[in-house]
Structure 1
Amino acid sequence: MNPVTEDRAQEPLTEYAHRLTHRLRAFDRRHPLLWDAHITGFWVTAALIDHVSGGWRHNAHNLDVPGWLLLILSLGLSIPLLWRRTHPRAVLATMALFALVNAWTGAALQAALLQLAVVYHIALRRPLRDLWWATALVIAPVLVSVARHGEGTWDQQIGSQLMSITVAVLIGVTVRTRRNYTEALEDRARRLETERDQQARLATAAERARIAREMHDILGHNLSVITGLADGGRYAAAKSPERAAQALDAIATTSRQALTELRRLLDVMREEEQHDQADLTPQPGLTDLDQLLDGVRSAGLPVRTTTHGSPTLPPGRQLTVYRVIQEALTNALKHAGAGATAEIELSYEDKGAVTVTITDTGDGSRTDGPSRDGRGLPGMRERTALYGGTLEAGPRPHSEQGWRVRLHLPEETPQ
């Protein structure tokens, strides 16, 4: 048979054995006393059968041992196994007393070998230094038997017992090592899961912060446009009803856009599975600047643009440039005052470098200068810092009235 085919044929049996072992261990963890009682009952029954059937006579050095003493020795060498996992050292010391009597009388009951089960549990659960005195307790009856009854040589009897102890210890150490390794893997898996959850929470917090910036940029701009249109419509209502109607139409259109953007961003913040639909919406880029500028112009702020070079920026940099221009124009609509104008100068360089300068000629009569540096400018600086750029925002020189925002993104560095 092909080895691969043979392995596949044996795999279901292996899985079945693994599931069965897992269930037995789970039952043992839930009911340790019940499991220990079954194991102890099995060995007590085996010891009593050896006593009643007379099987002990095949190995005995003395066939005249009283029956009552044999019964006590059989029970004394088997019943303590009930506590072998919780108190292995006390159990071994108790069994060693009965083993010494067993060796001295010459009964040589096979139940004395159950001490090896206790040695196994000491190697499995106790510090390994406990094995020294445990070995001494198990070998002591052998020395007594050889000294009193003189059957076999010292090296044969002691060597055979040491070999049995070594096997029990090796099994216990092997199981202990594997158990520690499994626990270490489980602990590592738990820590990795905790770290994964922490990273997910951090990513969620970062995404919510990004969404908050987007909401500020979008809604702040649209509301500023609506405010400008409303102010213009109020003055136009008395002189030109047609211009007032156009202003109201523009207000309605801008309001609908703001509501659409708000709904989309709130959908992203929901914890249901609506993220995929929201992520499919493209972020604004340089191709959307014309639409942005048309909205600002309709709100009453004339804007003139000058472009140098060819715009070949990746989407992330385009979004940063778009949001900075949007925030600067929003501030101009809020604070520049009546009769102000704005100018945008874009200079595209090689390898993704770009410089954008937005200036307005406002007098700041609606508010004082420091109010401009609200929540919008920190958001613009955060976006700029993502690409190692610089952002300057402040009043123009005294000879030139107004406000200036200058963005510079350096060349893209290869990863």
Structure 2
Amino acid sequence: MYDDERVTQASDPHPLTRHLQQLTQRARAFDRRRPLVWDVLLTAFFVVAAGVDYMGGGWRNIAVNTDLPGWLIAVLTLGMSVPLLWRRGRPMTVLAVMVGFGAVNSVTGALLQVALVQLIVLFNIALRLPLRTLGWAGVLMTLPVVAGTIRFPKGSWDQQILPQLWAYAIVGLLGIAVRSRQDYTRALVERARQLEVERDQQARLSAAAERTRIAREMHDIIGHNLSVITGLADGGRYAAARSPERAAQALDAIGSTSRQALAELRRLLDVLREEAAETAALAPQPALTDLDRLIDGVRAAGLPVRSTFHGRADSIPPGQQLTVYRVVQEALTNTMKHAGPGVTATVDVAYATDGVTVAVTDTGRGGVPSGSGRGLTGMRERTALYAGTIEAGPRPHPEPGWQVRLHLPRTTAPKESAQ
């Protein structure tokens, strides 16, 4: 609990920091909506500041030549401030114009402070254009400085040039840092978007897999039990005329099979109810110990089945037991539905150290009608969960009938849940 509190406190920014972040976000949002407004305000600020310096004569305090005409100072002032309005769309053109006026500013000895506005354009170049362009911009801005140093030398050249170069370098690096930060933020936003898309896709895939699993269970439960009920009903109808006791037994078996099918369906449908998820998870799934009951039900429906078991199933995982149970169930259901009259079936289950092998054969005409292969698809899907192999097809000539052979290797976990 204390660790969570420390993490929460560390992740919460200071109120002042949060307030500044909100103001920054609002300013950026306004700039994205109305960039011209911000450009006009910024340009107007520097034009007014430069105009105050010109009108008040403050430029004479640092000028080398104070006898320059007023019209020249006015032109230089406007020439190095008004182009700032187009700094985003054409930064290199704006810089070239400013450098031209800056060269006149340095050569004439006016040394107007408005020349520093070039640093804003340099920042925009570092922020938006390639680094090669930034290098050429630095060279271009150095020309007026060199010209002024040659025209009005004061002390050593490094005292006049190096401070300017350092200023250009710092502004350029600041633009690169802001650009890198923006690129990193955009990459994070894009990554978050991709993760959100992947999460939605994974949710859809999981939902589709769950629907497939439920459909497979519904097919196995309903298909098998209805086939057994149909067989019992047909047998009971024929027995009713000759042996009422046999007909009563068939009706009892139909009731028992129906109740079993309803119980399995209720367990399966409970999984879909969120409030009953925990209860549904406790419901037992069919296992290998239930094969005898399954085969007895098929026999009661009128299909003679001979079963043999080799080895012990103690170490078979529950998921594999369910797969074996469903494959045997589906194979016997197909035999009852498609093999024809007078057919017999055989179920052989062998447990070995390398896995479990199952063979279900019948002596009918074999095959599955076209368009009704959902059961075979379900068997293959269940087998694939445990990297097993399954073969379904006619028995080798001249033996009549159909066979299903399943092998599941020893494994500790399926590729996905088989429950």
Aligned counterparts of 1:267 and 1:413: Cα–Cα separation in 2? 27
Contact 2:345–2:361 (Cα < 8 Å) also in 1: yes
What's the secondary structure of 1:129's corresponding residue? helix
Q: Percent identity?
A: 61
Cα 1:132–1:338 change in 2 (3 A) is closer
Match of 1:54 in 2: 57
Change (3 A) 1:17 1:273: farther
Alignment pair present for 1:381 and 2:383: no
Report if the CA contact (8 A) 2:270-2:277 is conserved.
Answer: no
1:109 corresponds to which of 92, 109, 112: 112
| Greater displacement, 370-379 / 184-193 | 370-379
Indicate conservation of the 8 Å contact 2:395/2:403, yes or no: yes
Q: If the length of structure 1 is used for normalisation, what is the TM-score?
A: 0.82
TM-superposed CA distance for 1:82, in Å, is 1.8
Evaluate the alpha carbon distance shift between residue 328 and residue 151 of structure 1 in structure 2; reply closer, same or farther with a 3 A threshold: same
Which segment is superposed worse, 22-31 or 117-126? 22-31
Q: How many angstroms apart in 1 are the aligned matches of 2:114 and 2:256?
A: 94
Alpha-carbon distance in 1 for matches of 2:357, 2:30: 70
Structure 1 window deviating more from structure 2 (179-188 vs 249-258): it is 249-258
Q: Does the CA-based 8 Å contact 1:265-1:278 persist in structure 2?
A: no
The letter for the 2-side match of 1:110 is: Q
SS in 2 for 1:64: coil
Corresponding residue to 1:28 among 22, 27, 31? 31
Does 2:324 match 1:321?
yes
The 8 Å contact of residues 270 and 280 in structure 2, kept in 1 or not, is answered as: no
Tell me what 1:334 maps to: 337
Asked if 1 retains the 8 angstrom alpha-carbon contact of 2:62 and 2:111, the reply is yes
Q: Which moved more, 1:281-290 or 1:228-237?
A: 281-290
Q: Residue 342 of structure 1 contacts residue 358 of structure 1 at CA under 8 Å; is this kept in 2?
A: yes
Aligned to 1:300: 302
Partners in 1 of 2:396 and 2:11 — Cα distance?
Answer: 81
Between Structure 1 and Structure 2, how many residues are aligned?
405
SS of residue matched to 2:320: helix
Gaps of 5+ in 2: 1-5, 415-419
**Aligned mates of 2:11, 2:207 — CA distance in 1:** 44
State the AA in 2 paired with 1:155.
D
Amino acid at match of 2:114: A
| Residues in 2 aligned to 1:8 and 1:199: alpha-carbon distance in whole angstroms | 29
State how far apart, in whole Å, the 1-side matches of 2:329 and 2:297 are: 11
| Distance change in 2, residues 1:86/1:176 (3 Å) | same
Give the equivalent residue in structure 2 for 1:232.
Answer: 235
SS at match of 1:307: strand
Q: Which consecutive residues of structure 1, in runs of 5 or more, have no partner in the other structure?
A: none
The alignment partner of 2:302 has SS state of coil
- Residue matched to 2:75: 72
Mapped pair 1:161 → 2:164: yes
Does residue 194 of the first structure (1) align with residue 193 of the second (2)? no
**Cα-to-partner distance string for 1:345-397 (whole Å, 9 max, x where unaligned):** 3222336x22223344x443xxx546499333343233234333333444556
Deviation string 1:158-201 (CA, Å, 9 cap, x unpaired) is: 22211111111111112122222222333333334434444444
For residues 108 and 253 of structure 1, what CA distance do their matches in structure 2 show? 105
- RMSD value, Cα: 3.6
Instruction: Work out whether 1:94 is the aligned partner of 2:97.
Output: yes
Q: Answer yes or no: is the 8 Å Cα contact 2:214–2:268 preserved in 1.
A: yes
**Deviation at 1:400?**
6.3
Structure 2 SS opposite 1:306: strand
